[in-house]
Amino acid sequence: MNIPVPLLIVDDQARNLAALESVLNLPEYRLVMVQSAQDALLALLNTDFAAVLLDVKMPEMNGYQLARLIHGRKANRSLPIIFVSGHLTDATDAHLGYEAGGVDYVNKPFDPAVLRAKVKVFAELYRDRFALIAEAATLRDENARLLQILGKPATNDRLARARN
């Protein structure tokens, strides 16, 4: 059984959070929903998310500023951010989102099937990444065991490179 993939949803409006929850509240996801940039940053300290769905217009800082802060932290540099906004008025808005590190820009009202499909891609990439990390750890352990059987020191160049 697959462990639910964590998704962070950030929107200052409770009704927007509820709408996103109704679309994404599926067994394969674990939704973490917050209403402020501060709460989003705190959540990111404790969880490795598959993606962030981020509103653009928020009171204390806009979504573009928050995206820059998120990607400013080394652990979050490759975290996919999908902007979800009702304020896309022209291509400039989308460009601002992409410049801030967003990978997509979804305008409200959105098609639920399209949003689910976009999120699914990042959930699959997240699962693939963790499967590769687990496989690499298994290979390192097997290499170390084989080296031990052969009486070779575990400081083999190949093993050392694999650990880095």
pLDDT in tens, 68-77: 999 999 999 9
pLDDT category at 162 given cuts 50, 70, 90 is: low
pLDDT at residue 107 in the model: 86
In this prediction, residue 94 has a pLDDT band, given cuts at 50, 70 and 90, of confident
Query: Does residue 153 carry a pLDDT above 90?
Result: no
Q: Which domains does the chain have, with CATH numbers?
A: 5-128 (3.40.50.2300), 131-163 (no CATH)
Count of alpha carbons within 13 angstroms of residue 20, beta-carbon side: 30
Q: What mean pLDDT do residues 141-150 have?
A: 72
Least confident of 6-10, 34-38, 107-111, 156-160: 156-160
Identify the band that residue 156 occupies on the pLDDT scale cut at 50, 70 and 90: very low
**Sheet of 104-107, strands arranged across:** 29-34, 5-10, 51-54, 81-85, 104-107
CB proximity list for 104: less than 8 A, separation 6 or greater? 80, 82, 83, 118
End-to-end CA distance of the chain: 30
Rounded to two decimals, what is the model's pTM? Answer: 0.78
